[in-house]
Amino acid sequence: MNCNETKFGGAVVLKVAGRVDLSNADEFKDKLTAALGNAPGGSATGGLVVDLGGVDYISSAGLRSLMIVFKASKAAGKQFAITSLQPLLMEIFTISRFHLVFPLFDTARAAIEKQVPDALGEFDSHK
Amino acid sequence: MQITFWGTRGSLPTPINGKVVRRKLVNALVKGAGKNLDTPEKAEAFCENELSFAESGTFGGNSSCVQVDTGGPEYLICDMGSGARELSLAALGKHGPGKPQVYNVLMSHVHWDHIMGFPFFVPAFIPGNTIRFHSCHPKVEQAIRNQNHEPCFPVEYTALAAKIEFVPMEEGKPYEIAGATVTGMQQLHGNDSYGYRIEKDGKSVVYTTDAEHKPEDGEDMHRAANFYRGADLVIFDSMYSLAESISVKEDWGHSSNILGVELCHMAEAKKLALFHHEPVYDDERIQGILAETIRFEEITRPGDVPLKVVTAYDGLVIDV
């Protein structure tokens, strides 16, 4: 599993690639937590966008890591979004019913536009 | 071994009502229109071949009770949910009331849905029968005695005519019961529960209900997988979705279809039976969950050997 974090104004985008399972779920949670910590909270509009486009498998332990950080984002008043799910990953989210829990978007841009609109200009300027 | 499911519903018996029966009937009549179903044989073939299980039948609504026929003369039963009543009637129908039997009952725990069948377990009223409760759970005798007691039930425990025994078990220690080797494992559930691995002639069945597994807890996941290791059949508590079980229903003591597949994959088990169905789920929902679980198994399978996934229903018989 590889994680690559980039900040666009108030939006932190964490691009994840590889396989997330019981063996690296704790590491995944730590990366998510650190990335969430880098997003502004409080009165500033900030949030974490988790781009799973490079992930080909996620186990229950990985989904649990996402759930923990999603709850933490709510507690911190920060936005949270998951984007770019491959078809197989979308099936896993659907069968596990996490598609009903997490805010899902087709692309990181769509997530930022909806969740952290003030950061959209900076995101687009990096393209 | 032959496994018969007498009760598969979680938490509370859930009989279907007339409205549901009518809906199934109307659906079947519409689908059968113009098919010349003018004999019982044609109608039966139509139900079998052209209707889904949820359309032509029901997964049932009795609470947990599973019979494991080990081939010996004594009965081996997992839990005394409301399905135990029908089991007892079938046993009496088979043997007649005049031929005493020995009924060994493995108790996962003593929550109501797992003991409520005992007051209606007819062999308990007949002299000569022996009912032997085996469990790692320390409060089985207390729960069984208290259930047959006023003001909750008119027949006192002391009035039951059968010989009733309580045999304590230790977790992890194998016992010879009804001709099989039975080993218990503690599980995470309110007031504790225990799963049982039943082995006979190289075949193995794991009965693991009312058990919550935390997916991030590697130690628990590996412990459970080792308990299921190579099992021919794992009867698994899949009451909730994974999302429910690790969010709004966390610590409610139950697991999901996703964890059932993951643990069986880790254990290299051969067959998974989804069990302890959520009471609010209707037949169509349970059938849909089965289809999704089969797909999940397919897309997450670690090797080439498929794990067979089925959904338990009242009346299902599985040979291992």
Residue A127, pLDDT above cutoff 90: no
Cα B199 from chain centroid? 17
Distance CA A63, CA B243 (A): 8
Over residues B91-116, the mean pLDDT reads: 96
Using a CB-CB distance cutoff of 8 angstroms, which residues of chain B are in contact with residue A87? none
CA dihedral in degrees (B15, B20, B24, B29; nearest 10)? 130
> CB count, 10 Å around CB of B241?
22
Residue A61, pLDDT above cutoff 80: yes
pLDDT of the residue at A126: 86
Tokens of B78: 């997992």
Chains A, B: CB contacts under 8 A, how many?
Answer: 63
Residue A44, pLDDT above cutoff 80: no
Residue B75, pLDDT above cutoff 80: yes
* Residue from the list B214, B242, B295 with its beta carbon closest to the beta carbon of A91: B295
Helical spans, DSSP H, in chain B:
18-32, 40-50, 53-56, 83-95, 112-115, 140-147, 218-228, 242-245, 257-267, 283-300
φ, ψ for residue B279, nearest 5 deg: -60, -30
Task: Concatenate the DSSP letters of all residues of B203-242 into one string.
Answer: EEEEEE-S-B--TT-HHHHHHHHHHHTT-SEEEEE--B-H
In 3-state terms, what secondary structure has residue B197? strand
Over residues B22-27, the mean pLDDT reads: 97
pLDDT of the residue at A65: 97
Q: What is the pLDDT of residues B29-72, one digit of tens each?
A: 999 999 999 999 999 999 999 999 999 999 999 999 999 999 99
Residue B97, pLDDT above cutoff 90: no
pLDDT of the residue at A43: 63
Task: Quote the mean pLDDT of chain A.
Answer: 95
Among the residue ranges A37-46, B9-18, B111-120, the one predicted with the least confidence is A37-46
B137 and B105 in contact (C-beta within 8 Å)?
no
Q: How confident is the model at residue B226 (pLDDT cuts 50, 70, 90)?
A: very high
Q: How confident is the model at residue B8 (pLDDT cuts 50, 70, 90)?
A: very high
Q: What is the pLDDT of residues B265-276, one digit of tens each?
A: 999 999 999 999
A79 and A72 in contact (C-beta within 8 Å)?
no
Domain B2-14+58-319 in CATH 3.60.15.10: yes
Tokens of B298: 């397919």
- Would you list which residues of chain A are within 8 Å, Cβ to Cβ, of chain B? 22, 25-26, 29, 57, 59-61, 63-65, 67, 88, 91-92, 94-98, 100-101
Tokens of B42: 């044609």
> CA B156, B158, B161, B164 torsion: positive or negative?
positive
Q: How confident is the model at residue A41 (pLDDT cuts 50, 70, 90)?
A: confident
Residue A3, pLDDT above cutoff 80: yes
Which of A24, A60, A91 should we substitute to test contact with B (largest number of B Cβ atoms within 10 Å)?
Answer: A60
Q: How confident is the model at residue B145 (pLDDT cuts 50, 70, 90)?
A: very high
Task: Quote the mean pLDDT of chain B.
Answer: 97
Distance CA B109, CA B160 (A): 22
Using a CB-CB distance cutoff of 8 angstroms, which residues of chain B are in contact with residue A59? 215, 262, 300
Over residues B168-177, the mean pLDDT reads: 98
Which of A64, A69, A90 should we substitute to test contact with B (largest number of B Cβ atoms within 10 Å)?
Answer: A64
User: Using the 8-state DSSP alphabet, how is residue B133 labeled?
Assistant: E
Please tell me the CATH code under which domain A2-125 is placed. Answer: 3.30.750.24
Q: What is the pLDDT of residues B181-205, one digit of tens each?
A: 999 999 999 999 999 999 999 999 9
Q: What is the pLDDT of residues A71-124, one digit of tens each?
A: 999 999 999 999 999 999 999 999 999 999 999 999 999 999 999 999 999 999
φ, ψ for residue B215, nearest 5 deg: -60, -25
Domain residue spans in chain A?
2-125
For chain B, give the percent of residues with pLDDT over 90. 99
Q: Cis omega before residue B151 (within 30°)?
A: yes
* Residue from the list B244, B247, B259 with its beta carbon closest to the beta carbon of A60: B259
